[in-house]
Amino acid sequence: MPSRDSDISARPSGAMALPRVPTARWYPGVAAAQLIRPQPIGDALYWLELEGSLTRALQLRCRERFHVEVLREGYARPTLEEARTLHIPSRQLAWIREVQLCGDGQPWVMARTVIPLATLRGRGRRLRHLGGRPLGAFLFSQRRWQRGPFQIGLTRQPAPGQPAVGRRSRFHRGSDALLVGEYFLPRLLQGNNSHCSR
Ligand SMILES: C=C(O[C@@H]1C=C(C(=O)O)C=C[C@H]1O)C(=O)O
């Protein structure tokens, strides 16, 4: 499993470390990942197969408030595997954004988005200034962004409370592209999904 060799934003020594988005091994679909680890995939199936904006689905699930907590964002080097997936040179920098999507004050999803330099040109410049605004609001508001197929990720030996499964998809608009990985925290999966009709 590749490690991420660049810390997007080093924290002053002594400050409490921010959560790290886990690395994962990616599979071409739910069935392939379920062969490896059936239980966590089964627990997250509703969210792994969700169509449309995850942000929107989480907003509908909240009782009070949804917000995006930016953990780190800035220029950094993607992993070799991410660079290969985005067809960019292996040592080229990209804009990397790591956030937690929070419902009613609790982190529900961790997300890591890798945006190649070429995608940041023109209207893509706005992608560097999202701050607390959800990326999905940008992507789904522009008809020309298309989402490719999901890969399903299994994280290595997740610690208690950390994500065991995720999904990843490549958005593209003409020759521009970006890679969005979403990792589901147990707190979301243990919640009452009775209202989440499949
Ligand atoms: C792609 C979406 O955007 C969400 C918002 C993100 C962000 O603000 O960084 C990252 C991942 C997504 O879950 C979505 O809503 O589906």
pLDDT digits (tens, 9 = 90+) for 50-96: 998 999 999 999 999 999 999 999 999 999 999 999 999 999 999 99
Q: Which atom of ligand 1 is nearest to the CA of 171?
A: 1
Rounded to the nearest whole angstrom, what is the distance from the C-alpha of residue 124 to the centroid of ligand 1?
Answer: 15
- Closest residue by Cα to atom 2, ligand 1, is 136
Residue ranges of domains in the chain, CATH in brackets: 21-190 (3.40.1410.10)
Identify the pLDDT of residue 10: 53
To test the pocket of ligand 1, the residue of 72, 182, 184 to mutate (highest count of ligand atoms within 8 Å of its CB) is 182
* Of 47, 57, 112, 48, the residue nearest 86 (C-alpha): 112
* Tokens of residue 74, six digits: 């800035």
Query: Is ipTM over 0.90?
Result: yes
